[in-house]
A and B are shown apart, each in its own frame.
Chain A
């Protein structure tokens, strides 16, 4: 596992252990290297000194040709367990005395030579000089087990030091890494808890006054800020929603009562126009009769307007009664109901397969009535009029219904206005209507959790789309 992915606790431990291990290893290596060099030197020095002592003590023995005494002097070397052999050469380079006394001559170099390490042992030659006269040479030979023993001792010592130090470093770093890792872990835990439970009231515990403490403080401050913002935001949303709801209700109530109250005088106007017509139609001039007709027509038109308004306001307030609604049946019914209107028109119906949805049957009927009658109405000047009704499942999984006609169409820059109350893109003289139909459609679809929009082009027809949530579909 790469270092960057392991938990911070182990990362810190690893870092400190690796660092101390490397430092120790290098220190030990340097120490041992130094010791080995010094040891070699000091060994040569020590044995040279020993050889010089022997040489100094052998002068008389050589001067007076006393081998026994020279052998005695050499015998002192037996206290050194590493001493393999030693001898005294006389002035001619012949062996004069040996150590051990019974050593074979083959052990010694035939002639005095150079000091140094060779073939697993150390050889030292030291001249025997008396009053500036060379009398002979001392030769001593030591094995290197003193060196190898020391190497082993150093290796074990270094190993011991490294193991102990790493263990101590482990204990120390285990204790100290908490200083760094604990605040970070606490922060991470807090952040995790917050992102999991969305609870911004949680606070991270501050442990020290270092950078991590600063971080913890900043984190907590941000949390407090978020918490405060969240609270005020929710409060504001609640307030606004309540205000909006209240305003909406008021408006609905107002428009309902207005529509309702407007009907009574209208009924009077209509009624009295009728009575006037019955009682004194013959007394009226041609012009009077025409005025009467206009009054009657206008009051009827206003009645329709009020009816539509009432429906619209009712749509916002009435309870939805959800059932499974077969859309194809609903469309067929709607077209059936309009048989009278479309009599004599050449209309090419192109109706695709429509699914069942979950919704308020009466409301959805209202949607289809509005959309289909619009399509019929605006394609009045086409022969044949082509009306296409279809449904597909869109990218979001919603059911997307569309009603397409080849009628008058509209300019896309007014597309947003289509669904507003009393918003009309055509003159009443051209296409009659109250301007409430699409507003109603949008309202119903929104109450079902869907969306509605329109696409079109002047004189190239229009398409009205609406969606129903997929969860409601079978």
Chain B
């Protein structure tokens, strides 16, 4: 399992402070310091970063303007399958707004239940039926994210990858275009690009 670098941990705890989850952060840090719980805490750290990344994607991606009926409509981050984030994702987005839209987290067991999501994280538990899920979701204009291997190559929009112990991501421009998403150039500069975006 990847080990997070020291600055990453520091940065993360700071961003958590800024999110006013001080007690929660202390709790996390207490556990992450424990040696006997190493495997458990490593996963937690990785998903903490991924949870923040999910939140950050909301800021560097633009959805078509007509996709929101009005400003009060929440921007939903969905999690499909087993939730690896625990409470952390909820804590990360609580009280936050992007473009005036409040952020909410919804969890789905089945792909048929997914509805009105802007960002959908597809858990590793769904890796076997990924092809079907992506085909089912094709009609829904959403930003699909997953850490399943070759996710973006398979038609997902953003796939997390771990490079030299750091979490990076790949972006499938064709899939993004199908979903009518506009990526910030700053985001694209950080990502490995899959597809041409010209189909």
In the complex, chain B residues 47-76 whose Cβ is within 8 Å of any chain A Cβ = 49, 53, 56, 59-60
Q: Which of B7, B13, B18, B56 contacts A64 (CB 8 A)?
A: B56
Q: A60-B187, A69-B190 are in contact. Are A90 and B10 (CB under 8 A)?
A: yes
Interface SS of chain B: helix
**A67 contacts which chain B residues (CB < 8 A)?**
7
Who on chain B is nearest to A59 by CB? B186
Who on chain B is nearest to A132 by CB? B97
C-beta contact mask, A131-156 vs B, less than 8 Å → 1, else 0? 10110000000000000000000000
**A131 contacts which chain B residues (CB < 8 A)?**
59, 98
Q: A64-B190, A66-B190, A133-B18 are in contact. Are A94 and B7 (CB under 8 A)?
A: yes
Contact A96–B7 (Cβ < 8 Å): yes
Contact A61–B190 (Cβ < 8 Å): yes
Interface SS of chain A: mixed
**A346 contacts which chain B residues (CB < 8 A)?**
none
Contact B11–A91 (Cβ < 8 Å): yes
Q: Which of A65, A130, A133 contacts B11 (CB 8 A)?
A: A65
In the complex, whether A57 has a CB less than 8 A from a CB of chain B is: yes
In the complex, whether B20 has a CB less than 8 A from a CB of chain A is: no
A355 to B13, CA, bound (A): 136
In the complex, whether A63 has a CB less than 8 A from a CB of chain B is: yes
**B168 contacts which chain A residues (CB < 8 A)?**
66
Who on chain B is nearest to A58 by CB? B186
Q: A91-B15, A131-B98 are in contact. Are A69 and B189 (CB under 8 A)?
A: yes
A92 to B98, CA, bound (A): 23
**A96 contacts which chain B residues (CB < 8 A)?**
7, 11
**A90 contacts which chain B residues (CB < 8 A)?**
7, 10-11, 14
**B7 contacts which chain A residues (CB < 8 A)?**
65, 67, 90, 94, 96
Contact B15–A60 (Cβ < 8 Å): no
Q: A65-B8, A131-B98 are in contact. Are A91 and B14 (CB under 8 A)?
A: yes
| 30 CB-based A-B contacts, threshold 8 Å | A57-B186, A60-B184, A60-B186, A60-B189, A60-B190, A61-B186, A61-B190, A63-B53, A63-B56, A63-B59, A63-B60, A64-B56, A64-B169, A64-B190, A65-B167, A66-B190, A69-B189, A90-B10, A90-B11, A91-B14, A91-B18, A92-B13, A94-B10, A96-B7, A96-B11, A130-B59, A131-B59, A131-B98, A133-B18, A134-B18
Mark B residues whose CB is within 8 Å of A: 7-8, 10-11, 13-15, 18, 49, 53, 56, 59-60, 98, 166-169, 184, 186-187, 189-190
Mark A residues whose CB is within 8 Å of B: 57, 59-67, 69, 90-92, 94, 96, 130-131, 133-134
When A and B form their complex, which 8 residue pairs have the shortest distance between CB atoms, in order from nearest? A60-B186, A92-B14, A91-B14, A63-B56, A90-B11, A66-B190, A64-B190, A131-B59
